[in-house]
Amino acid sequence: MQAASPEETHRLGVRLGGLLQPGDFVGLIGDLGAGKTHLVRGVAEGAQVPHSEVASPTFAIVYPYSGRIPLYHADLYRIADEDELYATGFFDLVGSGGAVLVEWLDRVPGAAPREYLRITLRPTAEDARELQAEAFGARSEALLAAWLP
């Protein structure tokens, strides 16, 4: 998928947020400034999370949001390995129901369950991004099929 502007990325996020169900796991991959958090803000809006709740995870590893369903937003940029991630309580939170969005999933691939949606963001111009989505498992395939424009 192509997003020719930040607004387009946001809209893609809003649509995805409207489709998420408890238990869904979305991994976001892309360099600094690729637009991962930008997409998550759209997802949160689509999942009816109050605006003020959404931040870029900086101090905590996982932020819980409450919208139409519980949403967990994590950023693994500073996590060295799976052991360190265990210590943060990440796995307890993500196993507790709700949908999960994880930035920098490639830093700790073991953070992902067997079935999940992986979205890779790549800049193609200053304001344009390519979003490549790959679904693992039947539920993620259905989610992706519903999300695709």
Which residues make up the interface to Mg ion (CB under 5 A)? 36-37, 103
Maximum CA extent, the chain:
39
Q: Nearer Cβ to Mg ion, position 24 or 75?
A: 75
**Nearest of 112, 82, 80 to residue 94 by alpha carbon:** 112
Q: How far is the CB of 12 from ligand ATP (least distance, A)?
A: 9
Q: How far is the CB of 142 from Mg ion (least distance, A)?
A: 27
Q: How far is the CB of 79 from ligand ATP (least distance, A)?
A: 13
Q: Nearer Cβ to ligand ATP, position 38 or 116?
A: 38
Contact (CB, 8 A) for 90 and 102? no
Q: Which of Mg ion, ligand ATP, none has residue 138 at its interface (CB below 5 to 8 Å by kind)?
A: none
Q: State the amino acid at position 13 in one-letter form.
A: G
Residues with Cβ within 8 Å of residue 25, at least 6 apart in sequence: 94, 99, 100, 102, 112, 113, 115, 116, 117
The DSSP call for residue 45 is H
Q: Which of ligand ATP, Mg ion, none has residue 22 at its interface (CB below 5 to 8 Å by kind)?
A: none
Contact (CB, 8 A) for 34 and 129? yes
Q: Nearer Cβ to ligand ATP, position 55 or 148?
A: 55
Region label for 30, one of left (φ > 0), alpha (ψ between -120 and 50) or beta (otherwise):
left
Q: Nearer Cβ to Mg ion, position 55 or 146?
A: 55
Q: Which of ligand ATP, Mg ion, none has residue 129 at its interface (CB below 5 to 8 Å by kind)?
A: ligand ATP
Binding site for ligand ATP (CB under 6 A): 3, 5-6, 9, 30, 32-38, 56, 103, 127-129
